[in-house]
Amino acid sequence: MNAVICYLITFAPITVIAIWALIYVFRIFRRITKDYDKIQETKEKVDNLPCDSHVKNIDSILSHQNSFKNEIGEVKTSVFSMREKMGGHGEDIVKITTSIDYIRQIMDTFIQNSQKSNKGTKKRLTQTQSPLSITKYGYGIMEKLGIYEMIDANWSNICYYIEENLKSKNPYDIQQFLIESIAVFPDKFLKNNDLNTVKLEAYKEGRLYFHI
C-alpha cells in the first residue's frame, strides 16, 4: 500500500492531489448534509410549537394556576388560624356538650316524674291526663303564692320567649315545650324574686320547684 502511494506521488502527483481533493470535498459535503438535516429537524420542531394564541392561552392558564395556588395558600392559612383559635375553646366546648347531655338526661327524668310525683301523702297539683289540668289544691297554692300576679308581671317576656322558640302549634307539642322550658329555663317565665318564692314553697312541700 505504501509502495503504491509512493509510486503515485512520484509519477502521478496530479492524480494524488485530485484524489485527496475528492476525499476532502466528500467530507465537507457529508458535514454540510448533517448540518442541514439538523437545521430541518429544528425547523420542524419550531413549526410544531404553539401559535401565538396558544401561547397566550398557556400564559393565561399558568396565571390562573398561580392565582389558584395563592388562594389555596390563603385558605390553608385561614384554616390553621381557625384551628389555633378553636384550640383554646376545645375544653369549653366539651364542657358545654357534657352539660347539655346532662341536662337532657335529668330533664327526661324530671318530665317523666312530673306527672308521677306527689303520690302517697302529698296532694297533687295537676291531673295526670293530657292536657294537664290544675287540681283544686293546685289552685290553692297558686293563690297562696300569687302565681297569677307573677305571670302577669312577666307576661311580655313569656310571650316573646314562646314566639321565638316554639316551632309547632300542635297542642301536645306546646304542652311538652312548656314543661321542658320551665324545667330548664324557669327564669324565662318568672322573675328572680318570684322564682325564689316558688323554690322556697317547693322546699317546704318537699317537691321539685317546677312541680309547684
Question: 103-145: per-residue pLDDT in tens?
Answer: 665 556 555 555 555 454 456 656 555 667 788 888 888 899 9
Asked if 189 and 149 touch (Cβ cutoff 8 Å), the reply is no
Give the pLDDT score at 157. 92
Whether residue 99 is predicted with pLDDT greater than 60 in this model: the reply is no
Give the pLDDT score at 37. 72
Cell numbers placing 189: 317565665
User: Mean pLDDT for the chain?
Assistant: 70
Position with higher pLDDT, 47 vs 147: 147
Give the pLDDT score at 180. 83
Asked if 175 and 132 touch (Cβ cutoff 8 Å), the reply is yes
In tens, the pLDDT along 180-202 reads: 888 888 889 999 999 999 888 88
Give the pLDDT score at 107. 59
Give the pLDDT score at 125. 59
Angle at 138 between CA 135 and CA 140, to 5 degrees: 115
Position with higher pLDDT, 123 vs 23: 23
Q: Minimal CA–CA distance to 212: which of 126, 106, 87?
A: 126
Position with higher pLDDT, 135 vs 13: 135
Give the pLDDT score at 212. 52
Give the pLDDT score at 5. 54
- Taking the C-alpha atoms of residue 188 and residue 155, their distance in angstroms, rounded to an integer, is 10
Give the pLDDT score at 121. 46
Specify the pTM: 0.41
pLDDT band of 52, cuts 50, 70, 90: low
- Taking the C-alpha atoms of residue 44 and residue 51, their distance in angstroms, rounded to an integer, is 14
